[in-house]
């Protein structure tokens, strides 16, 4: 369960650093602080930080119950908390994340460029299969392909499908999607997330090239 998504702090000792940041929506703040935890904290720090962030995400969903964007990010944070927690004890969080993504799809399947499909696809790929968990590579691949249909040029949709292909030993195909992910347009409101994802892309590309050589 340690590899759960990463395939997300309103106020966890990370104060706003500028007047402009104070004007951001709660969703922007969740996204930014998730990236702070994911890419700047040690593994030992992440579990407590994600648990605190999850409480804030749940508050945000209560305030925006019919907004798929918040449901998606609640799911991402639940998945990230499960990944940081690790072990079988994380499975309940993974199930909660699955429910958040499915609810988001019911509200608006295309929200955040199909991120619910990407995130749920990664979840199915990372969670152990039955009888331990609910993981399914068949469902994962279907969802990841649906995400690419919605967002064919996205950094996350291409990276996570490439990761799936790598794990399936389809190295040439994985490389093609990684190269496409590298070319994704920057997200001006998520620079740290882009920086961290690009680092992950380079790391996986190195592994792919080693397999192809």
pTM exceeding 0.85: yes
CB contact at 8 A, 39 and 192: yes
Nearest to 157 by CA among 199, 104, 119, 201: 119
Helix-strand-coil percent breakdown of the chain, rounded to 5? 75, 0, 25
Domain region containing 203: 152-213
When divided into structural domains, the chain yields a total of 2
The CATH number that applies at residue 69 is 1.25.40
Examine the domain organization and report whether 197 and 113 are in the same domain: no
CA distance 12 to 106: 31
CA distance 61 to 47: 21
Residues paired with 55 in a beta bridge: none
- Determine the pLDDT at residue 94: 97
Examine the domain organization and report whether 105 and 178 are in the same domain: no
Examine the domain organization and report whether 157 and 70 are in the same domain: no
Examine the domain organization and report whether 159 and 119 are in the same domain: no
Residue with tokens 């990010």: 73
- Domain boundary (124, 146, 168) is at 146
CB contact at 8 A, 161 and 177: yes
- pLDDT truncated to tens, each residue of the chain (213 aa)? 544 444 332 222 333 334 344 458 999 999 999 999 999 999 999 999 999 999 999 999 999 999 999 999 999 999 999 999 988 779 999 999 999 999 999 999 999 999 999 999 999 999 999 999 999 999 999 999 999 999 999 999 999 999 999 999 999 999 999 999 999 999 999 999 999 999 999 999 999 999 999
Examine the domain organization and report whether 196 and 121 are in the same domain: no
Q: State whether residue 135 is helix, strand or coil.
A: strand
CA distance 204 to 79: 21
- Domain boundary (146, 172, 199) is at 146
- Determine the pLDDT at residue 5: 43
Examine the domain organization and report whether 158 and 76 are in the same domain: no
Alpha-carbon Rg for the chain, nearest whole angstrom, is 16
Examine the domain organization and report whether 15 and 75 are in the same domain: yes
> What own/partner pairs with CB < 8 Å and gap ≥ 24 does 129-137 have?
132/88, 132/91, 133/91, 133/94, 134/94, 134/95, 134/98, 137/164, 137/168
């Amino acid at each position: 369960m340690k590899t759960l998504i990463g395939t997300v702090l309103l106020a966890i000792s990370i104060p706003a650093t500028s007047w402009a940041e104070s004007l951001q929506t709660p969703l922007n703040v969740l996204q930014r602080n998730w990236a702070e935890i994911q890419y700047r904290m040690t593994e030992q720090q992440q579990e407590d930080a994600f648990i605190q962030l999850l409480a804030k995400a749940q508050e945000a969903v209560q305030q925006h119950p019919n907004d798929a964007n918040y449901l998606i990010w609640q799911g991402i944070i639940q998945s990230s908390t499960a990944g940081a927690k690790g072990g079988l004890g994380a499975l309940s969080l993974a199930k909660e994340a699955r429910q958040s993504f499915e609810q988001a799809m019911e509200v608006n399947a295309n929200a955040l460029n199909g991120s619910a499909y990407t995130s749920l696809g990664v979840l199915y790929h990372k969670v152990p299969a039955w009888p331990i968990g609910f993981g399914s590579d068949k469902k994962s691949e279907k969802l990841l392909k649906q995400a690419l249909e919605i967002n064919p040029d996205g950094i996350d949709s291409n990276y996570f499908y490439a990761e799936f292909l790598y794990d399936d030993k389809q190295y040439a195909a994985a490389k093609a999607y990684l190269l496409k992910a590298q070319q994704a347009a920057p997200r001006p409101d998520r620079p740290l997330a882009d920086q961290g994802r690009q680092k992950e892309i380079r790391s996986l590309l190195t592994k792919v090239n080693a397999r192809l050589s």
